Amino acid sequence: MFITVKKKTVELILVLVLVVIALSGMIGGTIASVAAKERLVPIYSVDTDSKKIAISFDAAWGADKTKSIVDTLNKYRIKGTFFLVGFWIDKYGEEVKYISDNGMEIGNHSANHLKMSTIQEEVIIKEISSVNEKITAITGKPVKVFRPPFGDYNDRLIRTVNELGMKTIQWDVDSLDWKGLSSGEISKRVCSRVKSGSIILCHNNSDHIVEALPMIILNLKNQGYEFVTMSELVYDDNYIIDNNGVQHLKKMEE
């Protein structure tokens, strides 16, 4: 009798151990899944039924084409967003004012064009806040969007940008204008990749951006696209960003 009870007890213990192991695996898998879902991602594009797109220009070096870009945008009655680096602002304050006075949006591109994933939170805050202050001092307007140099980011950066009340912006259409492509090549590359909610990356001082811009604008306007500023394109609240960086408006709960 004693032996029989002992055997059943052992069997029961083994069953319990197996159950615990199975549950641990399930819980561990759930935790890993949640962790993966919580990875922070910038906005690369926007999920929208409207044919709205945003064209953007990063400015870090040189400014001789900037006013021509703004004039071209105005000529076709469209708006763009310029992401400015702090030391560029220091050198080209007149251009900063010209961009703003002509109705374009100005975004933050950091103070010193550093790889933001390599610096600590306090440095990130200084890199971003100092540029916001410079832009607002010249334009009188708040800064709502930030683009990390080199497209480099990590969770710490995005979390810090969020805490500063701003949105981290990337792109889903890269013009590669900085590679010296011809105006025709730039235009073809951009227009073949655009979709509703796209964010186009250009640079204010690339070789052929001024010549490419009218071709891009006319082609996409003929396709029914509307150019808006970055803040007009992205959702301000009640949204999620999926793992591909697509910003979606949350659906109303039924």
Q: Residues with catalytic annotation? A: 58, 203
Contact 199, 169 (CB under 8 A): yes
Q: Give the integer Cα–Cα distance in Å for 124 and 63.
A: 25
SS3 assignment for the chain: CHHHHHHHHHHHHHHHHHHHHHHHHHHHHHHHHHHHHCCCCCECEECCCCCEEEEEEEECCCCCCHHHHHHHHHHCCCCCEEEECHHHHHHCHHHHHHHHHCCCEEEECCCCCCCHHHCCHHHHHHHHHHHHHHHHHHHCCCCCEECCHHHCCCHHHHHHHHHCCCEEECCCEECCHHHCCCHHHHHHHHHCCCCCCCEEEEECCCCCHHHHHHHHHHHHHHCCCEECCHHHHCCCCCEEECCCCEEEECCCCC
Give which of 117, 136, 114 is closest to 127, Cα–Cα.
Answer: 114
Number of Cβ within a 10 Å radius of residue 108? 29
